[in-house]
Amino acid sequence: MSEKREGPAIETSGLVKVFGDNRAVDGIDLTVPTGAVYGVLGPNGAGKTTAVKMLATLLRPDGGEARVFGHDVAREADAVRSRVSLTGQYASVDEDLTGTENLVLLARLLGHRKPAAYARAAQLLEAFGLTDAASRQVKNYSGGMRRRIDIAASILNTPDLLFLDEPTTGLDPRSRNQVWDIVRAVVAQGTTVLLTTQYLDEADQLASRIAVIDKGRVIAEGTKGELKASVGAGSVHLRLREAAQRSEAEALLTRALDAQVQVEPDPVALTARIGAGDSGQGAAEQASRALGELARAGIVVDTFSLGQPSLDEVFLALTDHPATTRESAATATSATSATSSEEAAV
Amino acid sequence: MSTATTTDTRDEHLAPVSTDSLAALLVAKERPPRPTARSASVTFGWRAMLKIKHVPEQLFDVTAFPIMMVLMYTYLFGGALAGSTSEYLQFLLPGILVMSVTMITMYTGVAVNTDIEKGVFDRFRTLPIWRPSPMVGYLLGDLMRYALASGVMLAIGMLLGFRPHGGVVGVLAGVALLLVFSFAFSWIWTMFGLLLRSEKSVMGVSMMVLFPLTFGSNIFVDPKTMPGWLQTFVNNSPITHLSSAVRDLMAGDWPAADIAWSLGWSGVLLVVFGTLTMRLYNRK
């Protein structure tokens, strides 16, 4: 699907936006290929939203250039607007109107005649599981429902490029998974998605390429594999039954995982960092292989957990300072895994 | 960038997203031609109507406030200024109509200001539509409110004894002129709505402009007794021209000069503040 189109979806060079003394976006160069999810990862205040607003023609760049499908965002804003759509951080729908009214309003503004607008609204509400809430005012919707109606409004006319600005911030895990399903369905039909997020987990789930942004600059860019290679795929935390077996386990793990292994103050605990691995194996595969070897050596493991690298770790690896928001580190690890705080300090 | 959305238990009962039907919807890539300027503006006007439907309390401003104005000024000042309340009403009603409707126009600025705070404004601004249409839409919705306020005031006026000699045609012509002027005048408030940070400051500025402008006119009294410098101001105020025009139209005359002045002012206000509004809207 992507090969058919000419050129990248987004191309920016030296993009700058200044608010007073604050260089919110400070020279961003990006090339976003068509037909996939491109993740923009960074903490609060990194400049993600400002960059998206410039690309969506909501803000004028103060310097540099940005092109969307070859059209300059400042000089050819109208051409850009006809091909993109934006779901902002705050629900971009009218809270006083009902779900149906919101979608019909936008469908009419996109040029659909009245019957077509109502038909399209009904189909979208159906697909998004909102039929029962169609005639309720959006202000009475739950967080998950708002996100859905918001994304539905963004794909009324299948856009060529969809901006999703932190689409799952504030959602519970279940609603978050549903938003991810929607994003995958949208991309499967050939729409390019630019997704900003604070969660490494989310970028990992959805994006094929990721740019890490900090203080208005891109500090790392590449495929998921490339990015992870610079941070490591995660860490395994083990508790053994016998403290006496720890040094043997440490040696074994160091060999099996080709990684640094740290002994904890707790005499039965061990933590091993897993690299991206030349073998192309994921963190879980590597960890289970290591567990197998421990079992064969007769070492009994009481508990075991596998943690993903947190945004804090990515930031520590890429910069010399941690991500500034605390909650981002806490939520970046998935529900089934846990990353202990001492790992971030490795 | 705090979290704007909240979650609650209602999600538990939410039907799942159907990715199959979603995929089917997304396949349709055909795009209808973009709407005309008129069609986009009318659609935004429809949005304003829907808001009235969902929040009918907002009609309080255009019903209770005008009734209060008529009653208050008629009975407080009527006896003192014109000898009797019924006589004063003949003079006052067209003027108080002009005053109330021009005062109501400030709610346009408040509405624009509250909308910007919400994400929906960003959505409108990324649509490939005629740029002024969201603003024109607000004003179309407001024209309905102004018409309603006029109707309410005329009804209460008739009840109290107002008898326009211009008949239905004269009254309708007066109201039409008032609506044209109010539409143009409202662009001052769309500008302030975009310019100022909070709803409160929009209200504050509106009051500061509206009070001197409406009281410093011939709405309440004949300017002949005013000091010379004030007469100069009052006689050249757009509100004076407008209220003279409306008063004479309703009385069955044809005040060509005042009508021309009112329309001329409307044109100037529209061009100046319309341009400023759109400049702010595009830069925001």
For the segment A27-43, the average pLDDT, to the nearest whole number, is 92
Give the model's pLDDT for residue B21. Answer: 81
pLDDT > 90? residue A281: no
Per-block mean pLDDT, blocks of 10 residues, chain B (284 long): 45 69 77 91 95 88 88 85 82 92 90 82 90 92 92 93 91 96 94 90 91 89 86 91 94 93 96 94 77
CB contact under 8 A, B15 and A182: no
Q: How confident is the model at residue A280 (pLDDT cuts 50, 70, 90)?
A: low
**What percentage of residues in chain A have a pLDDT greater than 70?**
84
Contacts of B51 in chain A (CB under 8 A): 94, 96-97
ipTM, interface predicted TM-score of the complex? 0.84
pTM attached to this predicted model: 0.79
Least-confidence region, from A87-96, A130-139, A181-190, A276-285 = A276-285
A245-264 average pLDDT score: 82
In CATH, what class is A10-228?
alpha beta
CB-CB neighbors (< 8 A) of A170 in chain B: 3-7
Residue by residue, DSSP assigns A194-256 as: EEEES-HHHHHHH-SEEEEEETTEEEEEEEHHHHHHHH-SEEEEEEES-GGGHHHHHHHHHHH
The lowest-confidence range among A130-139, A190-199, A274-283, A298-307 is A274-283
CATH topology of domain A232-344: Alpha-Beta Plaits (3.30.70)
User: Which residues are CB-contacts of A110 (< 8 A; sequence separation ≥ 6)?
Assistant: A156, A157, B31, B32, B34, B35, B127
Distances A11 to A247, A321, B44, B87, B171 between C-alpha atoms, Å:
52, 29, 34, 73, 60
What is the structure's pLDDT at B284?
64
Res. A162 pLDDT band, cuts 50 70 90: very high
- Residues A77-81 have a mean pLDDT of 92
pLDDT of residue A312: 63
The ranges assigned to domains in chain A are 10-228, 232-344
Kindly report which listed range (A103-112, A155-164, B58-67) carries the lowest average pLDDT score.
Answer: B58-67
Measured at the CA of B119, the angle between CA B11 and CA B278, to 5 degrees, comes to 160
Q: Specify the pairing of strand A71-72 against strand A63-68.
A: antiparallel
Q: What is the pLDDT of residue A343?
A: 37
Question: What pLDDT, on a 0 to 100 scale, did the predictor assign at position B2?
Answer: 43
What is the structure's pLDDT at B184?
95
- Cβ distance of B54 and A97 shorter than 8 Å: yes
Which residue out of B26, B129, B130, B135 would a mutagenesis test of the A interface target, given it has the greatest number of A Cβ atoms within 10 Å?
Answer: B26
| Subunit contact A105:B47, Cβ cutoff 8 A | yes
DSSP B235-277: HH-HHHHHHHHHHHHHTT---HHHHHHHHHHHHHHHHHHHHHH
pLDDT value, residue A344: 36
CB contact under 8 A, B123 and A184: no
Instruction: For residue A2, name the pLDDT band (cuts at 50, 70, 90).
Output: very low
Residue A252 has pLDDT above 90, yes or no: no
> A239 CA to chain B: closest CA distance, Å?
36
The pLDDT tens digits of the residues spanning B92-110 come to 899 999 999 999 998 888 8
What residue in A sits closest to B45 (Cα-Cα)? A105
**pLDDT at A322 > cutoff 70:** no
Q: Which of A44, A84, A110 to substitute to test the interface with B, most B CBs within 10 Å?
A: A110
pLDDT of residue A171: 86
